[in-house]
Structure 1
Amino acid sequence: MDDTDLLDTLVGHLGCSGVSVSVMFGKPALKDAGGKAFACLFQGELACRLGQGTQAHTEALALSGAQLFDPSGRDRPMKDWVCVPRAFLDRWPEFASAALSVPR
């Protein structure tokens, strides 16, 4: 399954209109109806905007291998975003849904 197929599957799990597959930081991403990215694939993981301090953010960071999203690779992580490893692919829909519901 390629990256686009993975994101298309997530869109199907989300079951809401207006979510589209797009690009963020040159990587495949999910955007809401307003065009705001809330998740993307990065280095084989799903990075989700979960909102620092939310239950979903805490749960995602507790997963083995999970980390804050640092797209620059310069130790400047985006504190609201968590990279969920592919080992937890079965939980990606849960975190994508949580990311979609986080207020901008």
Structure 2
Amino acid sequence: MDSEFDAIAVDLVARGATLGQMMGHPMLKVGSSMFAAFTGDGHLAVKLGRSTAEHADALALPGARLWAPGGGARVFYDWVSLPPDQEDQWMRFAEAGRLLVSR
């Protein structure tokens, strides 16, 4: 796992999230709703909701893209994959994702 993801996970678990696994990768959820996943290519994928300002802000970051788990053809349009060189932004968007699924 990545040390930045580990730090985010500790912080968000303290706020009510739980840590789990999805397709062999660590992920965070609230209840049964997943909102963040550390991907095999070192990205953080975050559920932000395609019509939110946070989604638009995340996609505007260099290297960010819509998330297609496993690099497949199926795109999760509510999710943004944030690259490792944007780690300083990960917590901001992970918290936005947690709040989104907590509603």
The TM-score normalised by the length of structure 2 is: 0.85
Q: Does 2:11 align with 1:35?
A: no
Aligned residue pair count: 100
Contact 2:59 2:65 in 1 (8 A): yes
For residues 70 and 37 of structure 2, the distance between their equivalents in structure 1, rounded to whole angstroms, comes to 14
Alpha-carbon RMSD across the aligned residues, in angstroms, is 1.8
Instruction: For 1:1-104, list aligned pairs within 5 A.
Output: 2-3=1-2, 5-14=3-12, 15-16=14-15, 18-32=16-30, 34-42=31-39, 43-103=41-101
Structure 2 residue runs of 5 or longer lacking an equivalent are none
Contact 1:45 1:84 in 2 (8 A): yes
Runs of 4+ in 1 over 4 A off after TM superposition: none
Q: Please list the CA deviations of residues 62-82 of structure 1 after superposition, one character each: whole Å capped at 9, or x if unmatched.
A: 111111010142322100000
Q: Percent identity among equivalent residues?
A: 39
- Structure with the bigger percentage of helix: 2
The one-letter code sitting in structure 2 at the alignment partner of 1:35 is: S
Q: Please list the CA deviations of residues 7-33 of structure 1 after superposition, one character each: whole Å capped at 9, or x if unmatched.
A: 3311344341x312211122111111x
